[in-house]
Structure 1
Amino acid sequence: MRIVCVGGGPAGLYFAISAKLRGAGHEITVIERDPPEATYGWGVVYWNDLLDIMHHNDPESARAVSAGSVLWQDQEIRLHGSRHDGTAYFGGYGYSMGRAALLEILTRRAQALGVDVRHGEKLDDPADLPEADIVVAADGAGSRIRQSRAERFGTEVDTGRNPYIWLGTDRQFESFVFDFEETPAGWIWFHAYPSIKGKISTCIVECSPQTWRGLGLDTLDPEDAVPLLEKIFHRALDGHNLISRSRGEPARWQRFSHLSNRTWVDGNVVLAGDAAHTTHFTLGSGTRLAMIDAIVLAHSLSQYPDPQVALREYDQHRRAELQPIQAAARTSMSWFEQLDDYLDRDPVSFAYAMSVRHGNQSSWRHRVHLATQIAAVRRARRAYESGKRWYEDRSRARGATAPAGTVTSRTAVEGHTRGTPEDPRTINSP
């Protein structure tokens, strides 16, 4: 089968890898407009369940991703304002990696399997798609292929209210940090996590439109706004710098676009990753969901001899799985857009409201949250989680994984239903 993937991000590259593992005879080409090692953004974040899924699907690329991952432990919620000033905590741990490093690993693995990865090729006209049995549109939220067929895909885009900007910082955080700062114009906050060990952390700054205008950020050039943001967050950054430029281009203020489609298939063209769906960055699930799309699509093509049947099954099954996740993403985005309703609370109460923003409040969840504020409890939990990670790493090293073709979409999404209120998946994912 001749397959062309438009877009060399996690969805396109990991689909190419997954499809080749299930059908070495496939002729797969990945077309990426950017040159090698050039990518927007800083880091991606994920949890053990994605590493487990990758080890089941392709142990070789999984080992490389595991080796390049940065571990962060606990989550800190720092609240600095006129009424309250302090820090609350969530337990759990996660991993992160520079986006460029992840794409380099996936590119090398795809090429080793015989995938033709072409960098620096632009598809100027979506009508000029290469001849192929299947075209995978994995060209991001701004997919030109999807936009050219928006009516047939049934595309809907809702734009969020809060401005945000995706920055880096040379402060190396060791945990996932939410820092909320009160200014004369209103509250502004960031979400930060380590990305490149010992060098760079990702730092996403967000605020309400009123604060954005009140601080003059609506009139400042984004690069000129960086010194002001460094001043506002001087305490959290501990004197370190914010970094605007990624691959030579400055970061820009954006408003999140929540994207969905009535169908992901039009003829022989199929959507994957952000081209098919977006989830708000407060869930931290974009890369994970894109790579699961890739596995499910490859699995479907290996299960059904008729490509049209395979695409239809992928479309129906995967869209159904994404509906509750996207609903949770909307809830999360809305919670941060109404943050003023919660900022009069003390840090521990505020953090609890954040942890249950998807619902499921209960007395035992609140008791666990209160216990997590005790340093000795956090130390004990970290010790337990360290032992658990050691055991899981040894299990993976022994090759206790299933053959690539056995990974199903249901296996891939089970992680969304597990966890406790202090598990980071309940904070940054559904």
Structure 2
Amino acid sequence: MIVLFAVACGTAVANVYFAQPLLATIGHDLAMSPALVGGVVTLTQVGYGVGLLLLVPLGDVVDRRRLIVAQLLLLVVALAAVALAPTATLLLAGTAAMGLLAVVTQTLVAFAASLAPPDRRGGVVGLVTSGVVIGILLSRTAAGLVADLAGWRSVYLASAGLTALLALVLHLVLPRRSAFPPTSLRYGQLLRSTVTLFARERVLRVRALLGLLIFAAFSTLWSSVALPLSDPPFSLSHTAIGALGLVGAVGALAATAAGRLNDRGLARRTTGIALALLAASWLPLAFTRSSLWALVVGVVLLDLAVQAVHVTNQTLIYALRPDAGSRLIGGYMVFYSIGSATGAIAATSLYAVAGWGAVCTLGATFSCLAFALWALTRSDIPAPGTPGDGAPGVRGGLAGRDPAAERR
């Protein structure tokens, strides 16, 4: 079941990133200007951000199994629309819908966390989240290979077929009931309660800011690393550059141990060590132009660190209020999206005017800011064996909550 959740998460989130290596081909096929074809990526990300705010919280009020299957089936329709789009307008509309529905990934993460025993929740979240990160890292490689074989439209048709198959399998095997009964909040109250949760939960606010900073660093690397690699002295092909995602996947897989460490009550230590590794990763990355081995070491360290902190963040956040898991994870992921967008825009702009060294300085700055935030707030994280630190048998801050007060 955990593997199925991970595969479904990776497949869904990969749709958000398929277009990145295909933009030139798509633009040529549909006679789109460079500025217009860039809107494919922008609208997909905007759709994803809107979905985090408007769709993911629904997991706390409706049957998650039905919600997941319905979103996957609608995602199949959006993917088919993109694959068959005859005009730029229909393509852009389809990509926006695709991004909106791809947030089913976060509903799956929240569902997996709710089904896991409290003493294994960190490990389960770690394994499922590894599917998300691997889906992101391998999406560009897979898209390039399939497009070379059968054209860019085949990428989305293949994904539509796989998504439909996953919808059928999940419909058959997912539990029909969640661990926690749906809340009685109305939709407007549900959205407002997400803001209320941020106001009440300091751990949520701190971990959301950490998520913003680590994904700004992550995006700083992955949105710009193709630029120095495609220039002399390497002049690597798109396929070779895309294969770098395989290296990053190694680091992502290794970081699944972070979830198990969190289950042992080591969230503080895991976060601090991972953030130190994140800052240190930019030293070998700075030597990318002179050594591919330095790049490989830096990529493994960076992806390992980001994944470790991300898994720890989600486990701690979910433990605060398991009955509000979808709202907590959806709200946290909004900060992830902001960080990813900030890193991408800043890195590509900075590379154009100041080169790779400036990009590495930017990534190191994001990383050091994250470490400083952890150092200043680590005393706010519950000690091992208390609610919210992933300690075995603890259900976070559920005891003593007043649902009626939350509705008010």
Higher radius of gyration, 1 or 2: 1
TM-score, structure 2 normalization: 0.28
The answer to which structure has the higher helix fraction is: 2
